[in-house]
Structure 1
Amino acid sequence: MVTSLRVGLGKWLILLSVFSLAPGCYATTMPQASVPAPTPSPLYTAVDEFGQPAFQIDGRALFRDRPLPSSPIVTAPMKLLRVLRNTRQYFHEYGVADPVVQREGVLAVQGVSLTDVLATLDFMIATLTEDISNKRPIRLQDPAFINQHFRVIQWLPHNPRDRQQTQQLRLTNYAVFTHTGSRSRTATYNTALYALPDRQPDQPEDTFYRQLTKQQVLAGIFEPGGALHGRVRPLAYLTRAAFEDALMQGTILVNFTDGGSAFFNVDRNNGIAFVKGVTPYDQRRYWYFRQVAAIKGYGSSIENKINIEPEVTFAGDVWNVGLGRVVMIEDTRGGRSQLRLGVIADTGGAFAPNLYQLDFLAGIFPNPSAYQAVARTLPDYVRGYILIKK
């Protein structure tokens, strides 16, 4: 709606300028009234991952301008630079064809455009490149520099299931786990990661897999003797627990029993929505995988997913908050404030829609206990800020 108003106003201004320049037109002798800029509507309609309206909210209640405190900023500069570059490259190469990332989202209520988001990424990339190349202090870790060069917008959560959550975002965390697996099915490694057939150019996709629930797949429909044996390719066989980790985290590093290892990332799902509140084992949503060379974040297909890195990547609601939004979180546990800088470069079924949560990529871990040791040091709730270049 905002876009259509801008387009309509632009056409009117062009027409007015033509008449004002034409000899003998009345517009040359009449005083020109100033035309106020269109005001964004305060109401925002959140959409789910299928682009369908989910609920409407007054976007003014979600954000307020507020400078950062003068607290230490934690980040990993080289990792952040790589993820910012990868995210910006995604916009450059695939943004026009991807309607999800073309959405201005709920920040449009604050007057933030997609152009502003891209300018923010460009400025941060240039600043980091300059500082790292010259081996000087990282300016993006200086709160005074951030407050001077960025509009700092505090994000106030909207959680329909917890009306008391009004000031701090829920911060969850995810990881890539290293698991042992087998190239063939065994008594121990009996749950497969399957790959769908490659999509053929100029041919419609075979969507047979959208008819199957997770439970049907795990019951063996693709295994020898199953009704659809041979329709997909097993990539690795895992324990059921390792398989659930792969589904939950989206990426897994498998060490094979006969030597070698490989990353596998979610590719396409069966089109069934993730249901909040239902245990992972009982979800009907099912993901097929693809072998990849790195940890992958958001993308419209497995071929163009963004390479992401731990410590600087957040998964979030790319449909409504937006891909590439630079985020600062503030942890105030123990009475001391500490800031962490990262970027939304990933998403998941839990964020469709979700205006109250971020998921932090904590790292690659050999086992759940190593992961838990790190996870225990991370806060459960944080103040959240979105940075937009002034």
Structure 2
Amino acid sequence: MMKLSTLLPFTLLVAFNTVANVATNPIYQLEVEPAIGKMVTPSTAELCSVAKGTADYLALGEDYDPGIITAGMTAQFGGDLERVKRTLNFICQVQQEDELSGSPSRLMDAEFIAQHFDVIRWMPDKKQAQGFAKNKPLLKNIPDDQILLTKYYIKLAKGSAKKTAETPYALYALPNDEKGLTLEQGNADQNLTRHKLTKQDVLTGILDKDNLAEPMVWLSRYDLEDSLMQGTVKVDIAADHDNGVTNQFFNVHRNNGIGYQRNLKKEQQRRYWYFKKTDSVMGYGKDASYKIPVYPLVTVAGDLAHLGLGKLIMLTHNGESRLTVLADTGGAFENNQYQLDYLGGYFKNWDDYINTYRTFPDYFEARILLLKDK
């Protein structure tokens, strides 16, 4: 259990707040003596890459993506948006300096972390979690002082350039009647194909029958459902005859506007995503035209509306800590301040994923780091 003596009393937190009229939230508390332990971040170079991509997205400004490009919960600790960006830029500065000098990464030094960052301990909002805890032991059993850390992954699938008996379901590009429209234009016109069809409608083949959208690759039903759930898929595409196999990334583009239902199985979800070809794994972006490139093991997804995009988050379990960047989200994170999703790697199916993460803990201490003001 945490030492409550290391946390500033809530009354002192109010005094610490330097932003006028910002509501405080007791699940976040400034930690004076953070228990960091041993740093085990898998790759500081890839951490830097995610940090840079996220800082570049934040630099687009609050008007570009209102409600997401914000200071988020750190505003109550004086963490304005500029301070969030400085935190991300500092991560890359340190990583690059150490790489050039051939020195061990200072980002793997717990004393360096404690010296340069204000540490905000995040306790789970268990009241929120209990609203979805029926038949879900992981939510029911969330500890008082640790968040739930679920995992998501980059789906590996085998597909075909044409429809076959083994691959009868397509990943579709944005429907033809929406090509060339901005996200705002597409959302404003409710008569567009995207807004009219549920996932179950699409599975009947209506898009092909009426030539409404381009099928980009054909998958099995299992791989389709997994791709819709995970958001990014890398497909080995079998071409015609002896042309071999090509690899292609696909990432979610726009959906039909139906919300994700946390109490339904993935096959029962009515939300449907149209996809876009990409060159790498992509995280958050309000539309496919600009998304953040991400890497496994240093990226987390969460509630961007509350936490704010780009938070540097340290996850700790049994005295080992890893740094991650909040650079993605998902339908399960609407009004969710008890959970993060850890980008765990590349997997073909749930069995591969479970075998890899069988002993990986479900709950972690979570700390949000802000670069100290000089």
TM-score between both structures, scaled by the size of structure 2: 0.83
Q: Is 1:110 equivalent to 2:77 in the alignment?
A: yes
Partner Cα separation in structure 1 for residue 323 and residue 99 of structure 2:
16
Q: Find the counterpart in structure 1 of residue 3 from structure 2.
A: none
Residue 287 of structure 2: aligned partner: 301
Give 1:96 deviation, angstroms.
4.1
Unaligned 5+ residue runs, structure 2? 1-16, 131-139, 240-244
Corresponding residue for 1:49? none
- 2:49 maps to 1:71: no
After superposition, the C-alpha distances for 1:70-89 in whole angstroms (9 at most, x for unaligned) are 52111211111111111111
Residue 216 of structure 1 corresponds to which residue in structure 2?
201
The question of 1:134 aligning with 2:115 is answered: no
Aligned residue for 2:249, secondary structure, equals strand
CA displacement at 1:164 relative to structure 2 = 6.5
What does the per-residue CA deviation read over 1:312-342, in whole Å, with 9 as the maximum and x for residues that have no partner?
011111111011100000112xxxx111111
Deviation at 1:368, TM superposition (A): 3.6
Is the Cα–Cα contact under 8 Å of residues 267 and 301 in structure 1 kept in the other structure? yes
Give, in angstroms, the shift of residue 202 of structure 1. 12
Q: Secondary structure at the match of 1:100?
A: coil
- The answer for the alignment partner of 2:308 in structure 1 is 322
Q: Which residue of 1 aligns with 2:249?
A: 263
Q: Deviations over 1:155-178 (max 9, x none)?
A: 011132338643111001111121
In 2, Cα distance between equivalents of 1:77 and 1:211: 44
Aligned to 1:31: none
Q: What is the correspondence of 1:1-390 to structure 2 with a 5 Å cutoff?
A: 39-42=20-23, 59-75=25-41, 76-93=43-60, 96-159=63-126, 160-162=128-130, 165=142, 166-196=144-174, 197=176, 198-200=179-181, 204-205=185-186, 207-224=192-209, 229-258=210-239, 259-332=245-318, 337-390=319-372
Instruction: Report the secondary structure of 1:60's partner residue.
Output: coil
Secondary structure of 2:167 counterpart: coil
Question: Which stretch shows the higher mean deviation, 369-378 or 142-151?
Answer: 369-378
Equivalent pairs counted in the alignment come to 332
3-state SS of paired residue (1:284): coil
Q: Is the 8 A contact 2:155 2:346 kept in 1?
A: yes
CA–CA distance in 1 between the matches of 2:315 and 2:351? 25
Contact 2:170 2:218 in 1 (8 A): yes
Identity over aligned pairs, percent: 37
Structure 1 contact 69–143 (Cα < 8 Å) conserved: no
> For the Cα contact (< 8 Å) 1:85–1:125, is it kept in 2?
yes
Post-superposition shift, 1:239?
0.7
- Report SS of the residue matched to 1:260: strand
CA distance in 2, matches of 1:40, 1:157: 24
From the CA coordinates, give the structure whose radius of gyration is larger.
1
Superposition RMSD on alpha carbons, in Å? 2.1
Asked if the contact 1:60/1:109 (under 8 Å) is kept, the reply is: no
Asked whether the equivalents of residues 84 and 311 of structure 2 are also in contact (C-alpha less than 8 Å), the reply is yes
How far off is 1:95 after superposition?
5.0
3-state SS of paired residue (1:273): coil
What letter corresponds to residue 193 of structure 2 in structure 1? F
Q: 1:94 to 1:261 in 2, by over 3 A?
A: farther
Unmatched tracts of structure 1, length 5 or more: 1-35, 44-58
Residue 306 (structure 1) shift: 0.6
* Alpha-carbon distance change, 260 to 41 in structure 1, aligned in 2, over 3 angstroms: closer
Please say if residues 42 and 60 of structure 1, whose CA atoms lie closer than 8 Å, have aligned partners that are also in contact. no
Q: Is the 8 A contact 2:234 2:247 kept in 1?
A: yes
AA aligned opposite 1:314:
V
The CA distance in 2 between the partners of 1:155 and 1:202, in whole Å, is 34
In 1, Cα distance between the equivalents of 2:167 and 2:183?
38
